[in-house]
Homo-oligomer: A and B are copies of this chain.
């Protein structure tokens, strides 16, 4: 009936011992006699005593809570990532305080502030696509809360970060297309402020020049990741007099919008034009026009790795001069043609 959780004080009172004895008994302190220990544990069980983590962590100045800030959990990539983070966190007995930035830097800052107030032990963050200054996060770090960036990471070296090498996998991707005879390779890239976009672009250019192909910027389009932006980009590509024979999309969502539009324009997907992409969403197995190939970025693995890195970062003494850069390998996943028509 009592709404209040029992405390060690109440146990102590009932057993006529001191609170310190109860505390030590519950922790199996060797200096506490066996019978006392048993009596305490017995009563604790009976009273359904659950230690107050708030009090413990307050005392210890630790919370065993990690803040996780993502642009949007609606994206499969991030929901997979947080799943990995949570799995690893559970292993290390940490819990997850969760916040979304919705790609809005102001909200992102507010979420981070709340987490600081909550005195999380660390923050794992994938930056909003509109965030340019990360000074507020450096401040957090200066205040003794380690920050680990993942996937959408800043360029600078003085941060902990976990990401996969899009540059390298983009080169692999272009080579794959080249080896299959494609020469007119277009790209629908994401917003240029994203590191992810820059890496795609640089990998694209690098691969082409390795093959001694000249880079035609008319084959290079961008989208703001909305359906409209992607449709517009695809429209421009289709209007070229030299229509590309292959299109690399920024990710599978862009790919879906691009192919949907292209299909409406009478293009026979992966016949007239080959489509390849990034993300390797599980859902593409069910889509009308799966990409021939998609770069798997292992969001779950990146999430796990972020948590591992966080654990190590938390062990460093403050201030750190040791920054971890973890590169998770990306791999090309070639889809069967079973559902391609």
Chain A residues engaging chain B, CB cutoff 8 angstroms: 1, 3-5, 48, 50-55, 57-58, 63, 65, 68, 72-74, 76, 79-80, 82-83, 86, 95-100, 113-119, 139, 142-144, 256, 260, 283, 285-288, 318-319, 339, 341
Contacts and interface: CB of A to CB of B under 8 A. Distances in A.
A300 to B, nearest CB: 9
B74 A63 contact: no
Contact of A80 (B74, B98, B288): B74
Task: Label chain A's interface by main secondary structure.
Answer: mixed
Contacts of A58: 54-55, 58
B119 A53 contact: yes
Nearest to A80: B74
Contacts of A80: 74
Q: Which 3 A-B pairs have the closest CB atoms?
A: A3-B144, A3-B318, A53-B117
Contacts of A50: 113, 116-117, 143
A97 B99 contact: no
A117 B73 CA distance: 26
Stoichiometry (number of copies): 2
Between A50, A63, A80, the greatest number of chain B beta carbons within 10 A of the residue's beta carbon is seen for A50
A288 B260 CA distance: 11
A232 to B, nearest CB: 18
A118 B54 contact: yes
A112 to B, nearest CB: 11
A54 B68 CA distance: 18
A65 B286 contact: no
A65 B143 CA distance: 23
A63 B54 contact: yes
Contact of A143 (B5, B68, B99, B256): B5
A321 to B, nearest CB: 13
Given A3-B144, A52-B117, A98 B100 contact: no
A83 B72 contact: yes
Contacts of A95: 97-99, 114-115, 118
A76 B114 CA distance: 26
